Chains A and B, each alone.
Chain A
Amino acid sequence: GAVVSQHPSWVICKSGTSVKIECRSLDFQATTMFWYRQFPKQSLMLMATSNEGSKATYEQGVEKDKFLINHASLTLSTLTVTSAHPEDSSFYICSATGTSGRAGKGGTQYFGPGTRLLVL
């Protein structure tokens, strides 16, 4: 239980295009989803917190117009990187927490497998 998936697992795009990454909770309802980015050999950096049905809360320094987050249902959140540039190349990871079962205990976050983005 408490499985989170991400799609795609990797994507290569041209500079200036937009890329959408999906995060799904497969066996629980995710009331809250979190989006992180991770640079090589570094720790995870929280970008934003997304609650189902409401606007995402962005961390300081993260541009909300560049990283659009939508959490339209209890099992799906999307991150859209708009007008991507090479410096946006990174490993993007989502996590989810729910209100029941294993994922609901203490708000424990379960992570997706990540999406590697390369902007050329």
Chain B
Amino acid sequence: GQQLNQSPQSMFIQEGEDVSMNCTSSSIFNTWLWYKQDPGEGPVLLIALYKAGELTSNGRLTAQFGITRKDSFLNISASIPSDVGIYFCAGQRSRAGGTSYGKLTFGQGTILTVHP
């Protein structure tokens, strides 16, 4: 099925560095979500964005919903070892009654490794 274009695919950084990853799409989404997945676990919601242009923070995480509704980025500041994992962006079309209502389209994921 359709996937979002998420980059970079992987990152190797030093503890304390900032991280940035982004997702782009050829089509519009009403909602952008960022999830983190640890090995052997389900994805955990980090940030949800509901309006174009919205900038939202959650601790050291900041995410923005692109003004065109076709992209989003996630920044992690001052990374720590427990930030290690796979980060997924997901776009959602929330128009009730449509065949794709509520479905998520996922990016390929960004594997983050943090060296102490």
Name A's B-contacting residues (CB within 8 A): 4, 6, 32, 34, 41-46, 49, 59-60, 91, 93, 95, 97, 105-114, 116
CA distance A32 to B103 in the complex (A): 10
CB pair B1 A46 closer than 8 Å = yes
Contact of B102 among A42, A60, A97, A112 (CB under 8 A): A97
CA distance A43 to B112 in the complex (A): 15
CB pair B106 A43 closer than 8 Å = yes
Q: A107-B31, A108-B48, A111-B43 are in contact. Are A44 and B102 (CB under 8 A)?
A: no
List the B residue with the shortest CB-CB distance to A116.
Answer: B40
Name B's A-contacting residues (CB within 8 A): 1, 3, 30-31, 33, 35, 40-45, 48, 50, 88, 92, 94, 101-104, 106-109, 111
CB pair B1 A59 closer than 8 Å = yes
Q: List 30 A-B contacts (CB under 8 A).
A: A6-B42, A32-B102, A34-B104, A41-B111, A43-B107, A43-B108, A45-B1, A46-B104, A49-B102, A91-B40, A93-B43, A95-B42, A97-B102, A105-B50, A106-B31, A106-B48, A106-B50, A107-B31, A107-B101, A108-B31, A108-B33, A109-B102, A109-B104, A110-B45, A111-B35, A112-B42, A113-B42, A114-B41, A114-B42, A116-B40
